[in-house]
Chain A
Amino acid sequence: MKILLLVLVAIAALFAVASGVWVAIALISAISSRRA
């Protein structure tokens, strides 16, 4: 149970990082083609 809680928190952190990376890719694409 204790491990499960920690794993869930770690997964949430990884999802947040993945969201940041996804938006970063979209941002680079938008500013390199000047489309937004």
Chain B
Amino acid sequence: MDTVLSVAVVAAYVVLLTFVAVRARAAREFEEFSLARRALPLALVFGSLAATYVGPGFSIGFVGRGFKSGFLFLAIGLAYSVQNIFVGLFVAPRLRALKNCHTLGDAIGQKYDRKCHILAGVISVGLCTGFAAVMASAGGVVLSDIFGLPIWSSVTIVVGVTALYTTFGGLRASVITDAFQFTTFAILLPIMLLIVLGFHLQDGATVFAKQASVATSEGFSSTSPIEIVGLLVAFLLGETLIPPYANRALASRTTQISRNGFILAGVFCVIWFVVMIALGITARSIIPNDTGEDFVLLSLVKSVMPTGGYLLLLVVLVSVVMSSLDSLLNAGAVVFTQDIVKPFVMLTDNVALNIGRAATIVIAAVAAVGAVFVPSIIDGLLICYTIWAPAILPALIIGLWIKKPRPLAGILSMGVGTIVAVTFKFIFPDLIGIPAIIPALGSALLAYVLGHWIESIKSGA
């Protein structure tokens, strides 16, 4: 591979991306930085949501899973789609309808109290930083693999470029660049699948069906039922309404756009998983069987595409990583300003905007350092899923639906959910033999019920 050509392609991509980001303009007010003035149309909400969902896990990871276990992961991925459609139908419109709400912390603060607001903010910033570290790590691996750079310098380049346009443009730049990145990979990867199906599989239908059947059987025989349950729960709840998704729900022009954006993104997930898994299945008759999961997509492209195709893949992978990373950096910065600083200090709009920008840079720096410690893309994501769902979801979703949410229920649910998730994930990972998200979610729900009951008795209701 000609390194000069690779550098030229990446540089051209970065220039084009910068042009798009500049056209999105720098944010001038905190409302613009955090919620793009609540003016996003449906296509941009959908494109930005889908671009943020489709990170390295849903592209490289799913192609690898399709290669090893066929359509098994399509069934697991469907849980993710169902979750999005449910969020679109039942949660996003309620969230969008709240007044003066910039973040999930705001929503929780409005439903419970200030303590819950701040705790939700702290958990959200921590999780956004964790997710950002996973994305930074993936971006570093891609650039390092292609240019032979040390991993730290690759991470610095990916995080630096992303932080630059996110710091100045805020959510508007994040959404606009997401749409650009979505366009890049949503067109290029499916076209590559069509090329492989049309030109690289002899007796295509028979070979594809046979490989799909063999791989899916292998997948079911090598995955225990309890593992499948754990994965289903993680995919169903682990990423539900994480801060960047909540920001897009809140920034939609209307409640209807908020609802439809999530529903369409959920439907798109199904289509996307089919395409990624099909790429993995086709790879079984093209590349060696012992190829590592994370290298299936790369090896397939090298085998079937000319040099130009490989360079396109490079652009696709950089898009996939940056579109998720920018959303996380912006969401983390908005949450920090709105949920952690604002409850303590009255801020003018200009100061809030500057704090948001500074927070973007700090979160980017911490994520870049943390990227070195990320075990692997999927493992890193699963750690974040395990903590997010029990820590926030019971308090948020129940709070949005019941008439009188009790602050004690919110704080107990968030605290217990976080502690149990961390305990079973890091301190005693082998103690119970089931994924930590399940006991953590159960504990959070029990803690919520307990808190609600105690306060109901106290207030005599």
Contacts and interface: CB of A to CB of B under 8 A. Distances in A.
Interface stretch (B19-27, B113-121, B341-349): B19-27
A27 B176 contact: yes
Given A12-B275, A13-B193, A26-B179, A20 B205 contact: no
B281 to A, nearest CB: 9
A10 B47 contact: no
A36 B209 contact: no
A31 B24 contact: yes
A21 B204 CA distance: 27
Contacts of A8: 274
Contacts of B271: 12, 15-16, 19
Nearest to A1: B209
Please tell me the size bucket of the interface on A.
Answer: 20 to 34
Contacts of A20: 182-187, 190
Contacts, number: 110
Interface string B271-289: 1101100100000000000
A23 B268 contact: no
A35 B186 contact: no
Contact of B47 (A2, A26, A31): A26
Contacts of B36: 36
A22 B43 contact: yes
Nearest to A35: B39
Given A2-B205, A27-B176, A30-B41, A13 B194 contact: yes
B46 interface: yes
Nearest to A25: B43
B47 A17 contact: no
Determine the main DSSP class of A at the interface with B. helix
A35 B193 CA distance: 34
B111 interface: no
B180 interface: yes
Nearest to B273: A12
Interface string B196-235: 0100000011101100100000000000000000000000
B43 A17 contact: no
A23 B182 contact: yes
Given A26-B41, A36-B175, A9 B197 contact: yes
Contact of B186 (A1, A5, A17, A30): A17
Interface of B: 20, 23-25, 36, 39-41, 43-44, 46-47, 50, 172, 175-176, 179-180, 182-187, 189-191, 193-194, 197, 204-206, 208-209, 212, 268, 271-272, 274-275, 278
Given A20-B184, A20-B187, A26-B47, 8 more contacts: A2-B206, A2-B208, A5-B208, A13-B278, A19-B47, A20-B185, A23-B43, A27-B44
19 contacts: A3-B205, A9-B274, A10-B197, A12-B190, A13-B194, A13-B275, A16-B189, A16-B190, A16-B271, A16-B272, A17-B190, A19-B50, A20-B182, A24-B187, A26-B179, A27-B47, A31-B23, A36-B172, A36-B175
